[in-house]
Amino acid sequence: MLPLALSIGDVAGIGPEIIARAFAGGRAQGCVVYGCAQAMADAVDALHLRPDAERPVVARVDDPAAAQNLPPGCIPVVQPPGVDSQVLQSIRPGVVDARAGAAAHASLVEAAQAALRGEVAGLVTAPIHKEAWHAAGIGFPGHTELLQRLAGVDAVRMMLANEELRTVLVTIHLSVRRALQAITEQAVLQTLRISHDAAARWGQPRPRIAVAGLNPHAGEGGLFGDEEQRIIAPAIARARAEGIDASGPYAPDTVFLRARHTPTRAGEFDVVVAMLHDHALIPVKYLGLERGVNVTLGLPFVRTSPDHGTAFDIAGQGIADASSLCAAIDLARRLAGAPA
């Protein structure tokens, strides 16, 4: 079976460290890292593993196929052209650096191209720092937008998921002012279509999709805004005419509670579609950063990531929690049919 690709993220953040910890704990076996081999070796050192612990060994490889010939306990690393180990070693942990942004970008592009060529089963991305990308002249605000461009697809959507809640965003990395302009009937309908089609990957050919309103109380019949009546409700009606089980718009302050699955209570919905970035992400992140996984829907390959950032405040200390990355790897394997 094909390996999963792990892009290293920003080397000034916790990306290399959580990848190293996932390998040390046996959760990343069958994966290949795209990034800097020396940064990965330094991350292993930073973990301060017990003397009797199994210490991962970093091995630089030319392609993901070569990684499958390595013995267990190795961390295979494909180092893209332009990623210079000597340059990256001079970067201080926790500091925004254009060189780290450029290396993160190069690593992501190489990993994504491997996924597009079918050389890996899917892609799991460690966190980038958007300021470092900007400093490096990268013209994309985040992973999602760049992956969409590389894949050449018309539209993608971001889903944040854990075992209790799945939310999909109509708008992603936009200011609230610009996001309001981007919320159109077509954008909502497109989100519902993408969510419906992607659900087949996790075994739900007809998911129950709840649509959250934009305004307080979903507009209260137009008293607090008319976007629900003008934009959201018509999109839901069109989706239902296509056979999509969508309903709403519901008050955004309660719909997530209704959708949440717990050990003692099944949620009313399988997915919640929300209009704004924070509307969708706050409920899932509140349930625990260590459990959430970001999934990009609409790409021709599986892409997941942890739902936290670069954590510059603790970078380089060897204390970062790899739980969310491990959850992202597990979900990518399930979605891609990769080996556990």
CATH 1.10.220.10 for domain 163-287, yes or no, is no
Q: Do domains 1-152+301-340 and 163-287 have the same CATH topology?
A: yes
Q: What SS3 state is found at 119? A: coil
pLDDT at 338 over 60: no
Asked whether 134 and 287 are in contact (CB, 8 A), the reply is: no
28, 78 in Cβ contact below 8 A? no
Instruction: State pLDDT tens for residues 158-175.
Output: 999 888 999 999 998 889
Long-range Cβ contacts of 279-284 (<8 Å, 24+ apart): 279/212, 279/252, 280/158, 280/160, 280/167, 280/168, 280/169, 280/212, 281/160, 281/167, 281/169, 281/307, 283/165, 283/167, 283/256, 284/160, 284/161, 284/162, 284/165, 284/167
Name the residue among 67, 106, 108 with its Cα closest to residue 85: 106
Closest CA to 155 of 297, 10, 303: 297
For 134-154, what is each residue's pLDDT tens digit? 999 999 888 988 999 999 999
The pLDDT tens digits for 219-243 are 788 889 899 999 999 999 999 999 9
Q: What is the pLDDT of residue 107?
A: 97
Return the axis-axis angle of helices 143-151 and 98-116, rounded to nearest 10°.
Answer: 40
Does domain 1-152+301-340 fall under CATH 3.40.228.10? My reply is: no
Cα distance between residue 235 and residue 196, in whole Å: 14
Question: Is the pLDDT confidence value at 339 over 70?
Answer: no
| Cβ atoms of 219 and 226 closer than 8 Å | yes
Which pLDDT score, from 0 to 100, does residue 340 have?
A: 46
Check residue 115 and give its pLDDT. Answer: 97
Maximum Cα interatomic distance, the chain, rounded to a whole number of Å? 66
What's the whole-number mean pLDDT along residues 19-43? 94
pLDDT number for residue 172: 85
Packing angle between helix 37-46 and helix 15-24, nearest 10 degrees?
70
pLDDT of residue 292: 81
pLDDT at residue 52 tops 60:
no
* Collapsed DSSP state (helix, strand, coil) of residue 87: helix
pLDDT of 258 reads 96
pLDDT at 16 over 50: yes
Q: Which pLDDT score is estimated for 288?
A: 75
pTM of the model: 0.87
Residues 6+ apart with CB under 8 A from 160: 166, 167, 169, 280, 281, 284, 285, 292, 293, 294, 295, 307
Give the pLDDT confidence score for residue 80 in this predicted structure.
94
pLDDT average, residue stretch 11-24: 95
H or E element at residue 295: strand 293-297
Looking at residues 103-126, what average pLDDT do you find?
96
The distance of Cα 304 from the centroid of its chain, to the nearest Å, equals 4
Q: Where do the domains of the chain lie? A: 1-152+301-340, 163-287
Rounded to the nearest integer, the mean pLDDT of the chain is 92
Amino acid identity for residue 190 in this structure: Q
Mean pLDDT of 60-74: 90
DSSP 8-state class, residue 253: T
- Going by C-alpha positions, the residue among 53, 50, 54, 42 that lies closest to residue 15 is 42
